Amino acid sequence: MKILPTFRFKFSNNNHLLMTDLFDKLLKNRGPLGMHSKESYGYFMFPKLEGEISNRMVFRGKEKLVWSLNNYLGLANHPEVRSTDASAAGEFGFALPMGARMMSGNSDNHEKLERDLAAFEGKEASILLNYGYQGIMSAIDCLVDRHDVIVYDSESHACIIDGVRLHMGKRFVYPHNDIENLEKQLTRATRIANETGGAILVITEGVFGMSGDQGKLREIVELKKKFSFRLLVDDAHGFGTMGKTGAGVGEEQGVQDGIDIYFGTFAKSMAMIGGFIASDDQVVDYLRHNMRSQIFAKSLPMALVVGAQKRLDLLKSKPELKDNLWKIVNALQSGLKNAGFEIGKTQSPVTPVYLNGTIPEATNLIIDLRENYDIFCSMVVYPVVPKGIIILRLIPTAVHTLEDVNYTIDAFSKIYGKLKSGQYQADRIIPVAN
């Protein structure tokens, strides 16, 4: 669609700003990502990975070793998952049930999945979410009112930040995993809650998706002895991957009971879409009757609910999926460290590799890696991280092999050598093998 220029004067006679057309600014400022849209479409942004979801997929007509999918347990293409998905789609289609859960969109399958998720998480009840992102935003919105205070980790995912934005009361942020500072924020929050008669909600993540480190849940839960608050944990990356049974980071750190509201998504370990919140009976009942994103939106289609149930059953009955994941995680992370790479503080499958370089160097490096070594991984640069830092983010899965790991470490050592010797500087063009 062509956006027509507007015909208004920007200033009136007395120099007051006059209104503009809403689209004017979209033309001038396309945003930090949109500004690169022309050069990066289809390659760095919106790439198309084709073929069966696995460790090897096709990018621009050529097979690549893929390290960028959150298919942690390899369930995306598990034969039992594929056959359940196909038969559920055949039996129910994607329309059933029509409407929001509360109105006409409920079913026995939805309720059974909720009971099973709650039992798996060691909670009394759970509520399904038609999307994880909206679900958690809306849960935050639903749980607090203007008298309450939110205290949250500075590296929280965008869905938490958006949920906090909806909050009409006070909020305090603490630097990532800084428990001393969290105590300070809790002291401030307690003062305010005492004035307003409100309460405190602390929000953090189980696994932080960029750095891979875990939220310090044990220390946060310990603070409940000193302060009165409820704890919401977004365990999108921890559900299915962390803890003895895969119940997540609460289980891993032995503090599942201290998590008052547990959020998990189906979009990562379950390789699907949707999510859930598990908590006490009364909290879930309150969410069910007050959470706007679920009351005013269509419920998860039955075929997806049946698919999610199958995935949960496999996740519980096949511990070898998680064992395979961790075999690859351990080999990749120790191999990278032994080869001299900096992988930061990760305590989860998320594997960031930190390098130093400019954005043109990062661009050349990723092209070389993708075209000449056939490795597809994501790259994070400024403004997401400080200038001069390049993060190559690898997501190991249960369907990767030790050969994939060795090949990747070898290729990374080569590109690292090239980066250090200046071969990726902006004036050099990396030759691409045919």
Ligand X SMILES: Cc1ncc(COP(=O)(O)O)c(C=O)c1O
Cβ-based nearer residue to ligand X, 121 or 205 = 205
Q: Which residue is nearest to ligand X (CB)?
A: 132
- Which secondary structure element, helix H or strand E, spans residue 209, and what is its range? none
Cβ-based nearer residue to ligand X, 131 or 373 = 131
DSSP, residue by residue, 302-355: HHHHHHHHHHHHHHHH-HHHHHHHHHHHHHHHHHHHHTT-B-TT--SS-EEEEE
Residue type present at position 335: G
Binding site for ligand X (CB under 6 A): 131-133, 136, 157, 159, 205, 209, 234, 236, 265, 267, 275
Cβ-based nearer residue to ligand X, 293 or 408 = 293
Q: Quick one: tokens of 174? A: 């603490």
Spatial CB neighbours of 225, under 8 Å, sequence gap ≥ 6: none
Q: Quick one: tokens of 374? A: 């056939």
Cβ-based nearer residue to ligand X, 157 or 370 = 157
Q: Quick one: tokens of 104? A: 């006409």
Spatial CB neighbours of 203, under 8 Å, sequence gap ≥ 6: 140, 150, 151, 152, 153, 156, 160, 163, 164, 231, 232, 233, 234
CB of 131: closest distance to ligand X in angstroms?
Answer: 5
Is there a contact between 340 and 407 (Cβ–Cβ < 8 Å)?
Answer: no
Candidates 53, 55, 75, 132; CA nearest to 395 is 55
Cβ-based nearer residue to ligand X, 71 or 364 = 71
Cβ-based nearer residue to ligand X, 214 or 364 = 214
Cβ-based nearer residue to ligand X, 157 or 170 = 157
Residue 94 burial (CB count, 10 A): 10
Is there a contact between 308 and 274 (Cβ–Cβ < 8 Å)?
Answer: yes
CB of 376: closest distance to ligand X in angstroms?
Answer: 18
CB of 251: closest distance to ligand X in angstroms?
Answer: 17
CB of 136: closest distance to ligand X in angstroms?
Answer: 6
Question: What is the rounded radius of gyration, in angstroms, for the C-alpha atoms of the chain?
Answer: 24
Q: Quick one: tokens of 344? A: 């930061």
CB of 140: closest distance to ligand X in angstroms?
Answer: 12
CB of 274: closest distance to ligand X in angstroms?
Answer: 7
Cβ-based nearer residue to ligand X, 236 or 365 = 236
Candidates 273, 316, 301; CA nearest to 88 is 301
CB of 241: closest distance to ligand X in angstroms?
Answer: 12
Cβ-based nearer residue to ligand X, 272 or 409 = 272
Cβ-based nearer residue to ligand X, 236 or 405 = 236
CB of 202: closest distance to ligand X in angstroms?
Answer: 16
Q: Quick one: tokens of 266? A: 């189906």
CB of 113: closest distance to ligand X in angstroms?
Answer: 15
Counts for the chain of helices (H) and strands (E), in that order: 16, 14
Between the CA of residue 177 and those of 112, 155, 173, 186, 382, what are the distances in Å?
Answer: 36, 9, 11, 14, 22
CB of 128: closest distance to ligand X in angstroms?
Answer: 12
Cβ-based nearer residue to ligand X, 85 or 205 = 205
Is there a contact between 381 and 359 (Cβ–Cβ < 8 Å)?
Answer: yes
Pairing state between β 378-380 and 230-234:
unpaired
CB of 244: closest distance to ligand X in angstroms?
Answer: 22
The SS3 assignment for 173 reads: strand
